[in-house]
Chains A and B, each alone.
Chain A
Amino acid sequence: MSRHDFGKECSVKVNRRTFIKGCTMAAAAMGLSEAMVPKLVEAAASDQRPPVIWLHFQECTGCTETLLRASHPDIGRLILDIISLDYHETVMAAAGHQAEEVLQETINKYQGKFICVVEGGIPTKDDGIYCKIAGRTAMDILADVAPKSMAVIAIGTCATFGGIQAADPNPTGAVGVRDLVKGTPVINISGCPPNPISFLGTVLHLLTFGKPPRTDALGRPLFAYGRKIHDQCERRAHFDEGRFAEQFGDEGHKQGYCLYKVGCKGPGTFANCPAVRFNDVGSWPVGQGHGCIGCTEPQFWDTMTPFYERLPGVDMPWGDGIVTGANSAGIKILGVTAAAVGIHAAVGIGKKIIGCGRCNTSSEDQE
């Protein structure tokens, strides 16, 4: 868009056509039929904007930043027209005790009706002292807020699976929301950061139907995490025909060949990156020449490293044949299934399970 085409871009009223387009794309991303679009539009534009409390714990704010990059809906429309973002440390104008008042007011006024978004891991070691906000630990805040919400959306691999701070040796005992919150629905939007459309699609689904979208065993919506990257990749034909980049910048790399041999973890990673891409410029990491690092998978910092070594256990239908246990594979690389099983076995130093406020289950019962 040129600088002088400002009339369209600057309209702060919701342009209905753009807005419906956004809802249509969200519907498509969620695998919903066109017939659902009016319902989505209605849900997204209802008078009472659903309140959202966004909690930040051990995180880098990359997941909030990813929303800044979203275009449909863009951040302005999201927070001013679709939801009411009542508590969010990075964007809210209030600070200090005025900010904490807003938090308490929203919880009290909208009990059971607000959406709780969690960004960041929760440190559980040493009574959780490695992350404190307004004098309370992340564990205490989560225990206070999550059970009173309609649903929790854990955004990013830190909130879903503990994330980078949970990587070996996990110095702070970091875990994800599902390891602590029981009884309240928790939807996992993994990724480092996730594609904003996966989050936004989930919000619209929740608002439209009053329940979470269908998920896989790890709590991730099927519309965004139902297929392997490798199965949707534009370089898949090169893989099938045995055409590989052997090193960055070599002839194969310049021809856009498959990146498996320079470490791509696409064959072990479930996500929609090749389908929806990033930043509205048709980009995604593999498209630009770097392998997938498996960032939507549990404990990928341990299971997918070293990042520049080949993922073992991948059948290659051409070339050298099957390379299971290939010499160059790093010792840290495990299968993804093992990783998925391992996460729940790995957590739990001094953690406490947070019960559901509405189901009268004490935390002791949960443990």
Chain B
Amino acid sequence: MAQRIVVDPVTRIEGHLRIDAEVDNGFISKAWSSGQMWRGIEVILQGRDPRDAWLFTQRICGVCTTVHALASVRCVENALGLEIPMNAQYIRNMIQSIHALHDHIVHFYALSALDWVDVVSALSADIGKTVQLAESLSDWPGNSANRFKAVKEKVQAIVDSGQLGPFANAYWGHSAMALPPEANLMAVSHYLEALDYQRKANQALAIFSGKTPHVQNLSVGGVTTAINPDNENTLNMERLYWIKQLVEEVQGFIKQVYVPDVIAVGALYADWLPYGAGVTNYMAFPDMVLDAKATSFDLPGGTIMNGDLGTVKPFTSFNDSYLKENVVECIARSWYDGDWTRHPYEEETVPKYTNFQDEGKYTWLKAPRFMGEPMQVGPLAQVLIGYAQGHELTRTYVDHVLSQVSTLAGAQVGPGALHSTLGRHAGRAIRAAMLSDLALKHWQLLVDNIGRGDLAIFNKPTFPKGEIQGFGIHEAPRGALSHWIVIQDGVIKNYQCVVPSTWNAGPRDDKDKAGPYEASLVGNPIADPEKPLEVLRTIHSFDPCIACAVHMLDPEGNEAVKVKVL
């Protein structure tokens, strides 16, 4: 007899998510993913100035701050056929890559490490052995005996105070926690250090953007970060070198701490490598743009079907027709009126809440599909698609990580192991390392361009009479993001966001095909249904962002209809 477990709220994510799972003989046999919040931002956008849209859409999410801003200005520019100056392109590239460094660090340490790391166990760690372990993994200067001793005392003081704060009532001592105390202590130390390095990434970002979260230096047509090497109020060489130094410091943390930690977790939890593959159709969008027309990129995009790297098919520009024509969303199992499947430009949606129905509607999220199939998106998708295309930077880091995991685990671990819960963590760490290299590359491209005397940052948009439509894509930290806009006489008529967490956390479709979260949970072991730590492991590996995932569109500008509560 299957046992039903409900995790609500799923914590250490953005937004409000509920996961239901049926457990049969210690393994999950069926799962449901349900978004529990709806805000209606796309309804609010109708009738407004398209130049303002990015400031609104950025507020879809403060964790993915910057990503909806970028996709938004790009969709308006796509509709207008407006190119932006190369300085603006490089500044946008740096913004997205530096933001991703912060985001990936925070995700691994603050949002998901506690699924694998037992904080309380760190109290029984031997300091000398902890140093030995840490030094075998990395030459990070923070891995010192004094540091580990101080962290251990800190954890002890918190436990002694009886006020565990955010660490209260968690799954400490759970039988699925397998790290030795020394690895736990090292990880807690890095958890605290991560807080400092994510802040440095934001400092670099804020020099470009005025502040973070919610950068304020974009504009349809370019950026508003004035460049003038001869002015104290603008981006000048002092500011640019400050950015470079901060990015280099963050890069040090990523390469010497984050990547080695992920390798260690992968090797010490090698028994988890078979779990959590789920949907193995992958999709990523090309980004880190290298030309004004957006046809050349430093991060490759495309699709892979059925886990077969040989099926890889690239997306080659911001106007790629293979991409543009094959995206649809289905609402058969979502709290909206109807059961249609439509292209984003064609959607009309009215909310219709029915409570949680196992075999009916059960979420505010829609089910996006590509050529009719569910797709997994995110860093792993992007890494696999780069790997399959022979992208050199991707190959270098993937091969490094796999060989290190193999050595530590004492068994050969190949690319096939990446189709897993742990593979998503590996993909994210690999992507962070690549983006730290690319951020510095694009810093140099920007400086070289300024050195040639080009200070342009903005091309003024002008809106024609009549109807135009466009889409903007961005490979965000959580994966493939697209915004779709219809503009009538210079005013927004329709706006639709098809978001990474909707691709991953979305429900079943009209053909009963499960979304990636749901599929990835099936087959996961559950040691104790009262403490479903394993559910959190797999769900967190996607880096859920539910504020992003829940959205809707009503082209008639109707208010939400009266809903029926059962």
User: A: which residues have CB within 8 A of B?
Assistant: 1-4, 6-7, 9-13, 47-49, 51, 56-66, 68-69, 71, 74-76, 79-80, 83-86, 88-96, 98-102, 125-127, 129-135, 163-165, 167-172, 174, 192-193, 234-235, 247-249, 253-256, 278-281, 283-290, 293, 301, 305-308, 330
Once the chains bind, are B199 and A126 in contact (CB under 8 Å)? Answer: no
How far apart are the CA atoms of A135 and B34 in the complex, in Å?
Answer: 12
Complex CA gap A290/B54 in Å reads 13
- By Cβ-Cβ distance, the 10 closest A-B pairs, closest first, are A62-B62, A256-B233, A93-B170, A171-B40, A285-B210, A278-B211, A279-B206, A285-B216, A60-B62, A249-B458
Given A61-B14, A129-B563, A172-B560, A93 and B51 contact (CB-CB distance below 8 Å)? no
Shortest Cβ gap from B165 to chain A (Å): 5
Which of A11, A99, A125, A171 is within 8 Å of B169, CB to CB? A99
Closest CB of chain A to B550's CB: distance in Å?
9
**Cross-chain contact B16 with A172 (CB below 8 angstroms):** no
Q: Is the CB of A63 within 8 A of B16?
A: no
Is the C-beta of B173 less than 8 angstroms from some C-beta in chain A?
no
How far does the Cβ of B428 sit from chain A's closest Cβ, in whole Å? Answer: 18
Q: What is the total number of residues of chain B having a CB less than 8 Å from a CB of chain A?
A: 110
Shortest Cβ distance from residue A119 to the other chain B in the assembled complex, whole angstroms: 9
Q: Which of B508-551 contact A (CB under 8 A)?
A: 531-532, 536, 547
Residue pairs across A and B with Cβ atoms less than 8 A apart, 25 shown, are A10-B193, A48-B163, A49-B161, A60-B62, A61-B61, A75-B195, A83-B165, A89-B9, A92-B166, A95-B170, A96-B6, A100-B9, A101-B169, A130-B39, A164-B39, A165-B44, A168-B44, A170-B44, A193-B214, A256-B228, A278-B206, A279-B206, A281-B207, A284-B211, A308-B51
B202 is contacted by which of A125, A127, A169, A279 (Cβ under 8 Å)? A279
Distance, CA A58 to CA B111, complexed state (A): 20
Contact B63 A61 (CB under 8 A): yes
**Closest residue to B62 on the A side, CB-wise?**
A62
Q: Indicate whether A301 sits within 8 Å of B9 (C-beta atoms), given known contacts A132-B36, A283-B207.
A: no
Q: Does B502 contact A (CB under 8 A)?
A: no
Question: In the complex, A47→B210 CA distance in Å?
Answer: 38
Docked-complex contact B49 and A308, CB < 8 angstroms: yes
**Once bound together, how far apart are the Cα atoms of A181 and B167, in whole Å?**
30
Asked whether, in the complex, the Cβ of B169 is within 8 Å of the Cβ of A94, the reply is yes
Within 8 A of A (CB), among B1-45: 6-16, 36-41, 43-44
**Is B559 touching A95 in the complex (CB atoms < 8 A)?**
no
> In the complex, A63 Cα to B14 Cα: how many Å?
12
A235 partner residues in chain B, CB cutoff 8 A: 233
Interface 1/0 per residue, B265-301 and A, CB below 8 Å: 0000000000000000000000000000000000000
With an 8 A cutoff between CB atoms, is B212 at the interface?
yes
User: Closest CB of chain B to A134's CB: distance in Å?
Assistant: 5
- Among B141-186, those with CB < 8 Å from A are 141-142, 144, 146-147, 150-151, 153-154, 158, 161, 163, 165-171
Tell whether, in the assembled complex, residue B11 and residue A95 are in contact, meaning their CB atoms are under 8 Å apart.
Answer: yes
**Segment 214-245 of B: residues with Cβ below 8 Å from A:** 214, 216-217, 219, 221-228, 231-235, 242
Task: Report yes or no: A167 in contact with B196, Cβ–Cβ below 8 A.
Answer: no
A301 touches B44 (CB 8 A): yes
Report chain A residues within 8 Å CB of B106.
68
Known: A9-B196, A80-B154, A164-B44. A249 touches B222 (CB 8 A): yes
Given contacts A131-B36, A281-B203, contact A289 B217 (CB under 8 A): yes
Q: A4-B141, A61-B547, A91-B166 are in contact. List 10 more A-B contacts (CB 8 A).
A: A6-B147, A68-B202, A89-B11, A89-B13, A132-B37, A134-B8, A172-B40, A193-B213, A288-B210, A305-B48
| Chain B residues in 8 Å Cβ range of A98 | 169-171, 531
**Is the beta-carbon distance between A56 and B16 smaller than 8 angstroms?**
yes
Specify which of A13, A94, A165, A285 is in contact with B40 (CB 8 Å cutoff).
A165
Chain B neighbourhood of A134, CB < 8 A: 8-9
Contact of A254 (CB < 8 Å), options: B111, B147, B228, B536 = B228
- Within the assembled complex, what's the spacing in Å between the Cα atoms of A141 and B208? 39
Q: Are the CB atoms of B208 and A288 closer together than 8 Å?
A: yes
Q: Which chain B residues border A135 with CB–CB below 8 Å? A: 8
B7 touching A96, Cβ below 8 Å: yes
Q: Of the candidates A96, A130, A192, which one forms a contact with B214 in the assembled complex, judged by CB atoms under 8 Å apart? A: A192
Query: How distant is B212 from chain A, measured CB to nearest CB, in Å?
Result: 6
Q: How far is the CA of A250 from the CA of B136 in the complex (A)?
A: 55
For B456, what are the chain A residues with a Cβ–Cβ distance below 8 Å?
Answer: 249
Q: Using Cβ atoms and an 8 Å threshold, which residues of chain B touch A2?
A: 249
Contact status B55-A293, CB under 8 Å: yes
Query: Do B166 and A79 touch across chains, with their CB atoms under 8 A apart?
Result: yes
B98 to chain A, nearest CB (A): 12
- CA separation between A88 and B170, bound complex, in Å? 13
Of B16, B147, B165, which one neighbours A85 at CB under 8 angstroms?
Answer: B165
Interface code B41-73, partner A: CB below 8 Å = 1, 0 otherwise?
Answer: 101100011011001100111110100000000
Q: With A13-B154, A254-B228, A289-B225 in contact, do A247 and B460 touch (Cβ < 8 Å)?
A: yes
B452 located at the interface, meaning its Cβ lies under 8 Å from any Cβ of chain A in the complex: no
Contacts of A129 in B (CB 8 A): 353, 563, 565
Give the residues in chain B near A307, CB-CB below 8 Å.
49, 51-52, 55
Shortest CB–CB separation between residue A319 and chain B, in angstroms?
A: 20
Q: How far is the CA of A91 from the CA of B151 in the complex (A)?
A: 19
CB distance from B16 to the nearest CB of A (A): 5
In the assembled complex, which residues on chain B have CB atoms less than 8 Å from the CB atom of A68?
A: 106, 195, 198-199, 202
Q: Quote the shortest CB–CB distance from A84 to chain B (angstroms).
A: 4
B168 touches A130 (CB 8 A): no
Residues of A within 8 A of B151 (CB): 12
Q: Check: B401 CB closer than 8 A to any chain A CB.
A: no
Bound complex: CA of A214 vs CA of B563, how far in Å? 42
- Closest A residue to B170 by beta carbon equals A93
Residues from chain B with a CB closer than 8 A to the CB of A127 are 565
Q: Are B8 and A96 in contact (CB under 8 A)?
A: yes
Looking at B10, B198, B234, B532, the one whose CB has the most chain A CB atoms below 10 A away is: B234
Other-chain residue from A1, A62, A94 in contact with B249 (beta carbon distance below 8 A): A1
Contact mask for chain B residues 96-127; partner A; CB cutoff 8 A; 1 contact, 0 none: 00000000001000110010000100000000
In-complex Cβ contact of A60 among B60, B119, B559 (8 A): B60
Q: Select which of B59, B144, B227, B457 is within 8 A of A164 by beta carbon.
A: B59
* CA gap between A91 and B63 in the complex, in Å: 13
Q: Chain B residues near A254 (CB, 8 Å)?
A: 226-228, 231, 234, 455
Q: Which residues of A contact B39 (CB under 8 A)?
A: 58, 130, 164-165, 171-172, 174
In the complex, are the beta carbons of A85 and B231 less than 8 A apart?
Answer: no
Asked if B562 is at the interface of the complex by the 8 Å CB criterion, the answer is: yes
**What chain B residues lie within 8 Å of A57 (beta carbons)?**
37
| B382 contacts chain A at the CB level, 8 A cutoff | no
B226–A256 CB distance below 8 A: yes
**From residue B82, how far is it (CB to closest CB) to chain A in Å?**
14
- Residue contact A249 to B207, C-beta cutoff 8 Å: no
Contacts of B221 in A (CB 8 A): 248
